[in-house]
Amino acid sequence: MTEEIAKTVPVADPGEVILIDKPLTWTSFDVVNKLKKACRFKKIGHAGTLDPLATGLLILCTGKKTKQIDHYQAQEKEYTGTLVLGKTTPSIDLETEFDGEYPVDHIPNSGLIEAALQSLTGELEQYPPIYSAVRLDGERLYKKARRGESVEIKPRRIHVHEFEVDTRLFPEIQFRIVCSKGTYIRSLVRDFGKLVQSGAYLKSLRRTRIGDFHVDQAWELETYIKRKRSELGLPID
C-alpha cells in the first residue's frame, strides 16, 4: 500500500471511557445526546441507566469502547440516598404525587427495621417498579403506567451485598446499598416500607460507584464538554 493510498483509509475510532456525574432531572439518554452533539461523537452509549431524579456516576463509552458497555453494566454498584417512611407515591419517588399515608410511630425500637434489612440482603427476587424503563411487549413500563394500564411484571434475581441505614432523622432514613446489576433501589425502598408495616418513598438517590470507578473521578458534564471541545479545536460557548 502506497503512502498516498494509506492516507485515504479511515482510522477506526479507538474510543474512550467517560465518567460523568449525572445532573439532577437529566435522563441518561439526555447525557448521551448532549455529548454526542456537543463533542461530535459518532458512536456513544451509556453503561447503566440512572433515573432522572438520581444523580451520580454514569459511565459512557465511545467508538470501539462501546463494545465494553456490557462489561461495565455487569459490575457491582453502590448507592447512597434518603428514603422517607409514612408516605407512598406511584413511582416510589418524587416524580409523582403522594397517593398514600401510613403510620410510623410503631417502628422505632420495634426491631422491624433490623428485620427488614436482613430480609432485603442477599439473593432476592425483585419486582421492578411499574414506573421504569423495563420493556414489556416492546414498550417501556413507564409509558404503560402513565396511561394507567395494569400490567403483570415478572420478578428478577438480584443480589444485595450491603444495606446500611442511619435512622437518626427518622422518619427520614439515610442509606447505603451495594448491589448487583439490575437492582432497582426504588423497589428496595417500596419493599422496605412494606416490611416495617408502613409505606416509603425515595427522596434522593446518588450512585457513588460502579465496579472500581467512583463518582469522585467523574467529570461535571459541562466541564467535560468544554475540555473535549477545546481538544477538538471547536468553539467553547
Q: Grid coordinates standing for 184?
A: 432497582
Out of 21, 30, 51, 137, pick the active-site residue. Answer: 51
70 among known catalytic residues: no
Alpha helices (runs of H) in the chain, residue ranges in sequence order: 3-6, 28-39, 69-73, 112-119, 141-146, 185-195, 221-232
CA distance 110 to 116: 11
Handedness of CA 64, 62, 181, 138 (dihedral sign): negative
Check: CB of residue 166 under 8 Å from CB of residue 128: no
Measured CA to CA, the distance from residue 84 to residue 169 in angstroms comes to 10
Q: What are the CA-CA distances from residue 134 to residues 59, 60, 168 (Å)? A: 20, 20, 35
H or E stretch covering 161: strand 156-166
Residue 173: count other Cβ atoms within 10 Å of its Cβ.
22
Count of CB atoms situated within 10 Å of the CB of 208: 20
Query: Which residues are designated catalytic?
Result: 51
